[in-house]
Structure 1
Amino acid sequence: MDKHELGAFLRSRRERLRPEDAGLPSGSRRRTPGLRREEVAVLAHISTEYYVRLEQGRAPRPSGEVLAGIAGALRLTDAESDHLHVLAGTAPSRSGLHRRDVRPSILALLDRLPQTAAFVMSAAFEVLAWNDLAAALMEDFAERTPEDRNLARRAFLGSSRAEAPLYGVSDAAEFRRHVVMQLRSTLARYPSDPAVTGLIDELRDGSTEFARLWERHDVRSAAVLTKTFRHPAVGEITVDCDALALTDRDQHLVLYSAPQGSRDAEALALLNVLGADTGAYLR
């Protein structure tokens, strides 16, 4: 149970709610945003004292029934409710470190997708494996250290080279929000993993935008269905985005493809011929 993070998460969800969202009168004498603690306690059918102690990080581990009541009172989404259980220590726990070894069958699959840019990403946004088309569309990851292959680090801290951030993608701002939400969930699953905690500390210290988004305690992220790359060699390429969860290792297989016969599919085919040297993305 992470009492500090649990309390901060509860407080952030309470403060975002309007009284009318919970069927309560808004009134004119409210001095703080959101619901009052006693209102949440009533809606969750628990004592005000216990809820206050939860927000202050002083309460013992709540039961599943109490968490369900709080989730309902705060109108949490399914993702937020799952996150609440992780923070409270009532969700199945993982080992201390997130996995970075990719299943051999997935490595073989990458090479069998010649018309799709594909890569495997860890729970901490490190690109672990990729095929040739992904290298041509984005960059030659083989030339980078594992630290420089981290998409979260690139999104917020840029690169040591004079390159455009995030490969010229059209949804850079949305991707940064997605990174923050996913890293908060990752931290809840691996609170003692130095690779995870170190990355988050580095991003909070080095990026005011990351620090601002981190304090929002959001964990819900909308799925991205398409993405446009502004590639230096072939121009704009709009691809379909699919991220398949590899649950046994807490990784994702990310696929970028285009409809057969489309201009975007032709551009991907040209990149396959040109190779990874075209993915430099110079400013």
Structure 2
Amino acid sequence: MNRAQLASFLRTRREALQPEDVGLPRGQRRRTGGLRREEVAALSGMSTDYYSRLEQQRGPRPSEQMLAALARGLRLTLAERDHLFQLGGHAVPHRSVRADHVNPGMMRILDRLQDTPAQVVNHLGETLTQTAPAIALLGDETRHAGLARSLHHRWFTDPQARLLHRVEDRPTQSRLLVAHLHAAYTRDGQGSRAAAIVDDLLTRSPEFARLWREHPVPGSYCPPKHFVHPEVGPLELHCQTLVDPDQSQTLLVFTAVPGSESDEKLRLLAVIGGQLV
């Protein structure tokens, strides 16, 4: 680990990032450009003290998880993230797991949607980052670990994953998730994370095994979503998507027809989401 170079790299990237780049107000009392240390810490999900010690060449060697969080918080490119890992004394993440790193351009769009339910997911159904309203709507989907990080896996192994969906919609959702996982498996092949999810589900879920044998193919149209939220009740939402083909990531944005009852409920959830931050 090169403490001096790591500290310098973090500082230069922090000073180059402007409040507007991450959806923060500049404010009248900000005298210098760049982000403050506490802002980078908040964006990276760590304490200000921990981040400050890194810039001051103190503290423990950061883990791979911490470095990945810093890469997201500082909106680093993949090349910059690789450099950060090397400075932190870790091997560069393997190419096959780079879908964990959110594209900086995708993050800039997400930063401007902080009052809207929106999140970035990879091709395995793993949620990488969410806005506060998305957490209020769907729950914190980034908290899961292991195979359970994938919604595709949770859907067939955890009954709680289905509660947000109407009973009559669940068979369609099951087929859609299997279709997406088939596409990921075909692309990534044996020995991949997609293969690990498939192999586990084939032994644990008869429903998954039956649908898997049918080889469903995902369609290009995303129909309206009907949720049953525990706090605000039924919601009819539309899901708009923006795909980043290079990293197999998708930005999902949930909207409602303006002036509808679902629109009013989304506004309420935005307030609830703000209280969760």
1:180 aligns with 2:203: no
**AA partner of residue 101 (structure 1):** H
Which consecutive residues of structure 2, in runs of 5 or more, have no partner in the other structure? Answer: 1-94
Partner SS state of residue 197, structure 2: helix
Percent identity between matched residues is 31
Task: Give the 3 Å change call, closer, same or farther, for CA 207–245 of structure 1 in structure 2.
Answer: same
> Which residue matches 2:155?
155
Alpha-carbon contact 1:124-1:183 (below 8 Å) kept: yes
**AA partner of residue 197 (structure 1):** A
> Which residue matches 2:162?
165
Q: Please tell me whether Structure 1 or Structure 2 has the larger radius of gyration of its CA atoms.
A: 1
> TM-score when scaled to structure 2?
0.59
In structure 2, C-alpha distance between the alignment counterparts of 1:213 and 1:276, rounded to whole Å: 39
1:275 aligns with 2:273: yes
In structure 2, C-alpha distance between the alignment counterparts of 1:236 and 1:277, rounded to whole Å: 21
> Which residue matches 1:261?
259
Q: Cα offset for 1:260?
A: 2.2
Q: Cα offset for 1:168?
A: 2.8
In structure 2, C-alpha distance between the alignment counterparts of 1:263 and 1:121, rounded to whole Å: 27
Q: Cα offset for 1:236?
A: 0.7
Task: Give the 3 Å change call, closer, same or farther, for CA 101–230 of structure 1 in structure 2.
Answer: same
Stretch moving more, 202-211 or 107-116:
107-116
1:202 aligns with 2:200: yes
Task: Give the 3 Å change call, closer, same or farther, for CA 246–146 of structure 1 in structure 2.
Answer: farther
**Per-residue Cα deviation, 1:34-79 (whole angstroms, up to 9, x for no partner):** xxxxxxxxxxxxxxxxxxxxxxxxxxxxxxxxxxxxxxxxxxxxxx
> Which residue matches 1:120?
120
Q: Cα offset for 1:265?
A: 1.2
Q: Cα offset for 1:104?
A: 2.0
Alpha-carbon contact 1:229-1:236 (below 8 Å) kept: yes
In structure 1, C-alpha distance between the alignment counterparts of 2:165 and 2:218, rounded to whole Å: 25
> TM-score when scaled to structure 1?
0.58
> Which residue matches 1:215?
213
Task: Give the 3 Å change call, closer, same or farther, for CA 116–188 of structure 1 in structure 2.
Answer: same
Partner SS state of residue 133, structure 1: helix
Stretch moving more, 112-121 or 244-253:
112-121
Alpha-carbon contact 1:242-1:255 (below 8 Å) kept: yes
**AA partner of residue 139 (structure 1):** G
In structure 1, C-alpha distance between the alignment counterparts of 2:118 and 2:193, rounded to whole Å: 24
> Which residue matches 1:4?
none
Q: Please list, as runs of the form range in 1=range in 2, the aligned pairs for 1:1-283 lying within 5 A after superposition.
A: 99-145=99-145, 147-158=147-158, 163=160, 165=162, 167-169=164-166, 171-221=169-219, 223-275=221-273
Partner SS state of residue 235, structure 2: strand
Alpha-carbon contact 2:115-2:131 (below 8 Å) kept: no
Task: Give the 3 Å change call, closer, same or farther, for CA 223–166 of structure 1 in structure 2.
Answer: farther
Alpha-carbon contact 1:154-1:166 (below 8 Å) kept: no
Alpha-carbon contact 1:116-1:255 (below 8 Å) kept: yes
Task: Give the 3 Å change call, closer, same or farther, for CA 143–181 of structure 1 in structure 2.
Answer: closer
More relative contact order, 1 or 2 (CA 8 Å, 6+ apart): 1
**AA partner of residue 120 (structure 1):** V
Q: CA RMSD in A?
A: 2.4
Partner SS state of residue 238, structure 1: strand
Partner SS state of residue 99, structure 2: coil
Task: Give the 3 Å change call, closer, same or farther, for CA 165–117 of structure 1 in structure 2.
Answer: same
Partner SS state of residue 129, structure 1: strand
Task: Give the aligned length.
Answer: 181
Which consecutive residues of structure 1, in runs of 5 or more, have no partner in the other structure? Answer: 1-94, 279-283
In structure 2, C-alpha distance between the alignment counterparts of 1:276 and 1:192, rounded to whole Å: 42
In structure 2, C-alpha distance between the alignment counterparts of 1:96 and 1:148, rounded to whole Å: 18
